Amino acid sequence: MEIVLWLFTIGYFFQLGASGILIYKIWKQRSINGLCWDTQLIFFLGSFSRCLWLNETRLRNLPLAHFELYCNTILLLISVYMCYKFKYTAIHSAPKYLKWYSVVGCCIILSFFFHPGNKNKYYLSMQMLVSFTMFTESAGLLPQFAVMRKSKEIEAMTSKYIINLGIARLFRLIFWLQMYWSGDTFYSLIVADFIHTFILADFSLIYFKSLKSGKKLVLP
């Protein structure tokens, strides 16, 4: 099996771990303070979209990819439910322009114009769902970061959740670089993942500095 498919799948396993951390945090604390429901819903919609197009790609021959996808989708659905259940515990929320419907709407528009399908022959294709998934995963953390900026001080479990997502994005970025070197130039998807990885790298730098100093993580 091609190494790029394993890179793609391994990245999602780190995202699976992040969802597990998030669910454990909410279950233990009975609170979503510092978390954003919009981010979880955006991620779930992206994962559901991935369920629709997985069998149209080379990943259909990788059983581990199917296992990861279904587990990820289920955990994201659970996290959406738990965030909704404890939404009254949230102190901060994302601004209106970063609500789930705003982000998803932008991702739908972008996926219509920028997707890896054959735009001359079959413009409306399953490849639009591929782009929709990638765009939602790239933009999905923006509401969460907006809430974290308002909270300033970031709780340890939330930090671990974000770090796991950062590792997942790193694997995805390596995947896209491998695709680029093999001749698949999906520039819009590569740029989207690169920007998201850069944002997470900035957070990771602040996180590791706080660990080194022994202080709590506080965003500037």
| Residue position matching structure tokens 């995947």 | 175
What is the spatial distance between Cα 168 and Cα 171, in angstroms, rounded to a whole number? 5
CA neighbor of 49 nearest in space, from 19, 76, 85, 79: 76
Strands, E assignment, the chain: 153-154, 217-218
Span 21-43, mean pLDDT? Answer: 94
Residue 59: how many CA atoms within 13 Å on its side-chain side?
A: 23
Give the pLDDT of residue 104. 96
Give the pLDDT confidence of 162-188 residue by residue, as tens digits: 888 888 888 888 887 887 777 666 666
pLDDT above 80 (res 47): yes
Residue 155: how many CA atoms within 13 Å on its side-chain side?
A: 15
What is the spatial distance between Cα 160 and Cα 163, in angstroms, rounded to a whole number? 5
CA neighbor of 138 nearest in space, from 194, 179, 202: 194
Complete DSSP assignment for 98-135: GSHHHHHHHHHHHHHHS-SS-TTT-SSSTHHHHHHHHH
| Residue position matching structure tokens 């920028």 | 114
Give the pLDDT of residue 155. 80
Domain encompassing residue 61: 3-216
The angle at the Cα of 141, spanning 62 to 196, to the nearest 5 degrees, equals 70
Give the pLDDT confidence of 77-123 residue by residue, as tens digits: 999 999 999 999 998 899 999 999 999 999 999 888 887 665 555 55
Contact 17, 165 (CB under 8 A): no
Which residues are within 8 A (CB) of 166 and not within 5 positions of it... i.e. 6 or more apart?
197, 200, 201, 203, 204
Number of structural domains found in the chain: 1
* pTM for this model (two decimals): 0.87
Confidence bin at 48 (pLDDT 50/70/90): very high
